[in-house]
Amino acid sequence: MKTDIQTELTQALLSHEKVWANEEKTILAKNILLDLVEKTDPTIIGLLLGNDELKRHFFVEVNGVLVFKLQDFRFFLDKHRINNSYTKYANRIGLTDGNRFLKDSSDIVLDFPFKDCVLNGGQSTEEGEEIYFKRNN
């Protein structure tokens, strides 16, 4: 089942030859499309800007300038990747921060609930001397 945004994206990209996986222009080559968008290809960005629905969904206005929301576009493509498949579920399993997969992110923090402890690494034996540092507040 195609969403309105998928239909609008398909219609907007019909005039571009490189982003289609077949000659009938029924299957979108999403990896090529994503590569062109990441390189800010002026033709693709122009086609997206030419459609009001796509413009509203994937662009934000900042001080009179339209800024492309690449993370939203990438997440949209990942979410709607499977077209001719045997499953109705998404093709990626993983953790997300709500907008993107953690695998695609480089700013991941390992956070501990006890802030007054220090984690020592490099243990060479099973039995080691446990050292606790306690902060007096």
pLDDT for position 106:
75
93 against 19, higher pLDDT: 19
pLDDT tens digit sequence for 19-58: 888 888 888 888 888 888 989 899 999 999 999 999 999 9
User: Is the predicted pLDDT of residue 6 greater than 60, yes or no?
Assistant: yes
Is the per-residue pLDDT at 60 higher than 90?
Answer: yes
Longest dimension (CA), the chain: 71
**Confidence class for position 115, pLDDT limits 50, 70, 90:** low
Average pLDDT score over the chain: 78
Half-sphere exposure of residue 22: CA atoms within 13 angstroms, side-chain side:
5
At residue 87, the pLDDT reads 44
**pLDDT value for 85:** 42
Residue 53 tokens read as 């629905």
What does the pLDDT read at residue 67? 92
- Mean pLDDT, range 82-98, rounded to an integer: 58
CA distances from 110 to 104, 107, 113, 117, 119 (A): 16, 10, 10, 14, 11
